Chains A and B, each alone.
Chain A
Amino acid sequence: MKALAARRHDRRAPVVLLLLALLLTGGLYAVLAPTSAKAESSVASADDVKAGEKLFQANCATCHGPSAAGTASAPSLIGVGAAAVDFQVGTGRMPMQMNGPQAQVKPAQFDDEQISQLAAFVASLGAGPAIPTDDQVDPSKGDPATGMALFRTNCAMCHNAVGAGGALSRGKFAPNLWETSPRHLYEAMLTGPQSMPVFNDANITSEEKRDIIAFIDEQGNVSPGGLDLGSIGPVSEGLWAWVVGLGLLIGAAVWIGAKSS
């Protein structure tokens, strides 16, 4: 019993520490983040725009056109805003590697500075949604219960009840959300990339988006019942019932039926 208790303490300690650390960082963010973030976004200098334009001409103009007005193969970027660029380029979806049902996530091809330069350039073309502040996407400030209710109505049909992802028509799919950063989650809702519809602030307010992020933040980690089997519902449960359950039981039956040596 002692050993168990000791182990329990061992297991708990890092978790508690982690929670405390999270609280602390959260608190710090609350004090510091908004101002610094705002400062950053407003300080999109003319230099940044220029550097961004250079990057754009070199990497994006082939498809989106030299003036970013779009071509037959890619949409216009005028008015999509910095948020769309930060999401598409930051998650590696753009530049697109090859044509397919949809752009895939891959390691980002540009560093943070280049992305912000590109974003500054595209934002300069026409008014569009801006990159959210750190405060707007801080999961610790959201209410996961409100988030879950909103997620259930607006997101679960494509992304699955806890964001594990799901199928769309003709090879397209709604991706798993567990590894997506809060900022990218926010930007995706705001800009509606690819098949995804737009959820503007009039539909899901900025605070509500943070609630949703708080809900997603809790998913994909620990399931109270044990292994989560992918969180994709009864099909994987059925598969495991046959493979593990019936597999073990038939194994035992063979042992019972076999003659002892």
Chain B
Amino acid sequence: MSAHDNSHDLEVRDSNVVDRFEDPGHPDHQPRKGDTDPKANKKAERQVLFLFAVSVLGTIGFVVAYFALPPGDTAESMRTSNLALGGALAFALLGIGTGAIHWAKALMNDHEKSEERHLQRSDDETRAAAVEVLAEGTADSGISRRGALKGAVVSALALFPITIALPLIGNIGEDWNVGKLKHTIWKKGVRLSRDPNGRPIKASDVTIGSVFHVIPDNLEEHHETGDYMDQKAKAVVLLVRLDPRDLKADQSPAGETWSYDGIVAYSKICTHVGCPVALYEQQTHHLLCPCHQSTFDIADGARVVFGPAKRPLPQLPITVDDEGYLVAQSDFTQPVGPSFWERETK
């Protein structure tokens, strides 16, 4: 702290400067119109009365609107009901509010008053007394003499929350098996079908420039197992057909083809923070995420060309089955969706 400890004195403003102006003191009270003119006073009173009357009318209007204007079945009738109820409520409330405030401003005594302040800190005497009281209590408890007790109390208090925390933490994350993040229900031979109606897709259905939003054909089974949403959240795929000459990369690291005749399938879950990436621009082959604008080049292995994502979207290896339907060659070969710490671990 500075060399000056002014903390005991509210009066000292700045002891460095002596050359200061004096506070001229509170200015004189300026009377309002209503203070001098009884007519103006009466008028203000009538205004307050009117405002409260508006409130009462608002409440009555609300009751009327409640019975007379049910929301009904159309957007128009719903809007009418909402407007009437809300408008009436607003009148009921604003009437009270403005009435009370106008009353306070125009009619109540408006002479300013002054109240003294005192330092927040308690005075030295009180402090000393407080210290003494605590010392007495400590002595009574004998805690300073019985060191073992102190340790015992602290340990017991520190340990008992485990009884609540353990079952909570044990169950709150279900099975805590974060390995599930690395797999989806795609596997060899699973047909690609349309989202949301589940119709399987033939390779011949997919014309150049088409985009299909795809779910695995076996997703339906997960309605019963209760993890439909969890599985869908990982498995959704975007299917696009390009002119095969436009494709710059569609090879797995091992060299086999992951696409079928210009048809490529990529995970729809952004590698940034997991929004569904779905804005496909047919001419540029760019896929844009509407949440944070990561842009992926579908013609070039879904490489990131703009935005906050780092990794390309994982590609789903596809082929066709005997009936001409598109099927997966396998699961994704890497975890889909946003990055997490152990993503690349085995």
Contacts and interface: CB of A to CB of B under 8 A. Distances in A.
B76 interface: yes
A200 interface: yes
Interface secondary structure of B, over-half rule: mixed
A171 B80 CA distance: 39
A156 to B, nearest CB: 9
A211 to B, nearest CB: 11
Interface string B214-228: 000000000000000
Given A157-B290, A256-B101, A261-B33, A222 B76 contact: yes
Interface stretch (B117-125, B253-261, B273-281): B273-281
A148 to B, nearest CB: 11
Interface residues of B, number: 54
Contact of B293 (A15, A149, A169, A198): A169
A226 B75 CA distance: 10
A149 B205 CA distance: 21
Contacts of A226: 79, 82-83, 86
A149 B195 CA distance: 9
Contacts of A223: 75, 79
A215 to B, nearest CB: 14
A224 B286 contact: no
A153 B80 CA distance: 32
Contacts of B210: 192, 197-200, 203
A15 B101 contact: no
B105 A260 contact: yes
Interface string A170-214: 001010000000000000000010111111101100000000000
Given A153-B213, A169-B295, A200-B207, A195 B79 contact: no
B283 interface: yes
Nearest to B108: A260
Contacts of A153: 195-196, 213
B68 A1 contact: yes
B280 A197 contact: yes
A157 B195 CA distance: 14
Interface in B243-286: 276, 278-284, 286
Contacts of B64: 1, 4
Contact of A195 (B105, B110, B208, B281): B281
B239 to A, nearest CB: 9
B234 interface: no
Contacts of B207: 198, 200, 202
Nearest to A174: B279
Contact of B212 (A172, A203, A222, A260): A203
Nearest to B236: A153
A260 B68 contact: no
A59 to B, nearest CB: 23
Which of A5, A158, A252, A260 has the most chain B CB within a 10 Å cutoff?
A260
Given A153-B195, A200-B207, A260-B110, A8 B279 contact: no
A166 interface: yes
Contact of A168 (B205, B213, B276, B288): B288
A5 B64 CA distance: 10
B50 interface: no
Nearest to A224: B78
B76 A158 contact: no
A227 to B, nearest CB: 9
B43 to A, nearest CB: 12
Given A157-B276, A197-B210, A221 B82 contact: no
A76 to B, nearest CB: 13
A8 B282 contact: no
A226 B79 CA distance: 6
A67 interface: no
Which of A168, A200, A226 has the most chain B CB within a 10 Å cutoff?
A168
B69 interface: yes
B64 to A, nearest CB: 5
Interface string A75-118: 00000000000000000000000000000000000000000000
Nearest to A146: B197
B100 to A, nearest CB: 10
Contact of B279 (A5, A168, A252): A168
B279 A158 contact: yes
A1 to B, nearest CB: 5
6 contacts: A197-B240, A202-B201, A222-B79, A224-B71, A226-B83, A261-B32
Given A200-B210, A259-B30, 6 more contacts: A11-B76, A166-B290, A169-B281, A222-B79, A226-B83, A259-B105
Interface of A: 1, 4-5, 8, 11, 15, 149-150, 153-154, 157-158, 166, 168-169, 172, 174, 192, 194-200, 202-203, 221-226, 252, 255-256, 259-261
